[in-house]
Amino acid sequence: MNYLNLNISTLRAPEFLGSDPVARATWLCVVGYCIDQENNGRIAACKGWKDRQWQQTCGVTLDEVNASVPLLGWDGDDLTVWRYPLAHQAKCETNRANGKAGGLSKSQAKVEAARINGAKHKPSEDPSDNPSETEASTQDKIKKGKDKVRVKEGSAEGSAPTDAEWLASLASDPAFAGLDVQREFAKMSAWCAVNRKAPSRRRFINWLNRAERPMAQAGAVTQDTFGSVRPGREAW
């Protein structure tokens, strides 16, 4: 037991009130020891204990024990304790036993429930016994097959050209004839680095559209609107 359960009637009994304070304190110390040991208020074979042993176990001396009659008394070699709470000890023992039995039964019930649950959810080794699992695995295979085809197509024809391939295609594009595409790309990249801009492909197309074409070769002539021939610059 973890606490001392005494009725008020015990503390108001003539035996307790008629004892001196030292005897009362000795009785309380011995009762506390007996409750901790749950020994039914009887310390067996303790008559031969020396004074030091009484002090170590109950916190009292042998003389104090002998002077505590009628609160403490001898029955042969055993010391008996007056008004020890036997009913409370029996109740605690019963509750403890019931709690242990209840906990054991609950544990067994949990184990049994887990076993039944596992049997219900355990997949069969034969795929034909689990149509949903078979269907799911088939759909997974189909999906993986489609993914493989998609990856293959993307790696062959759907992949974007590299920067070198893209610049080469711009250099051969008639829309940018007369422009040094590689040189313009280097200029655009330097401008982006200074201005903290991203050298994207869209930005480079705009750059090329704004770039100036080189001057026409010396002696080159152009024809004006009225058909007359005059030297001039190559058309922008």
Cβ burial, residue 204 (10 Å; 0-12/13-18/19+): buried
Q: Specify the pairing of strand 42-43 against strand 72-75.
A: unpaired
* Predicted structure pTM score: 0.44
What are the distances in angstroms from CA 1 to CA 11, 26, 101? Answer: 20, 20, 19
pLDDT tens per residue, range 73-123:
999 999 999 999 998 899 888 998 988 887 777 778 888 888 888 776 665
In whole angstroms, what is the distance from residue 48 CA to residue 151 CA?
94
Lowest mean pLDDT among 28-32, 101-105, 149-153: 149-153
Yes or no: say if 35 and 1 are a contact pair by the CB < 8 Å rule.
Answer: yes
- Please say if the pLDDT value at position 52 is more than 80: yes
- Please say if the pLDDT value at position 235 is more than 70: no
In whole angstroms, what is the distance from residue 127 CA to residue 137 CA?
10
- Please say if the pLDDT value at position 30 is more than 90: yes
Q: Residues 6 or more apart from 172 whose CB is under 8 A from it?
A: none
- Please say if the pLDDT value at position 42 is more than 90: yes
Q: SS3 of 204, please?
A: helix
